[in-house]
Amino acid sequence: MTPERWQQIAAVLDEVLDLDPAERPAALDALCGTDPDLRREVSDMLEAELPDFLNEDAAVFAAPALAEQDRAAARHTVGPYRILRELGRGGMGVVYLAERDEVDRQVALKLIRGGLADPALRERFLHEQRVLARLEHPHIARLYDVGIADDGTPFFALEYVEGEPLDRYCDDHRLPLDARLRLFEAVGRAVQHAHQHFVVHRDLKPSNILVSEDEAGQAQVKLLDFGIAKVVAEAEEAGREQATQTGTRLLTPAYAAPEQIRGEAVTAATDVYSLGVVLYELLTGRRPYEVIGHGGAQAVLTQEPKRPSTAVTDE
Nearest to 67 by CA among 34, 93, 101, 95: 93
Taking the C-alpha atoms of residue 24 and residue 202, their distance in angstroms, rounded to an integer, is: 29
Q: Is 44 a catalytic residue?
A: no
Q: In what order do the strands lie in the sheet with 77-78?
A: 77-78, 81-89, 93-100, 105-112, 154-159, 143-148
Taking the C-alpha atoms of residue 48 and residue 43, their distance in angstroms, rounded to an integer, is: 9
Cβ atoms < 10 Å from Cβ of 28: 22
Catalytic residue, candidates 145, 167, 203, 271: 203
Find the angle CA(5)-CA(11)-CA(14) to the nearest 5 degrees: 135
The residues that are catalytic are: 203
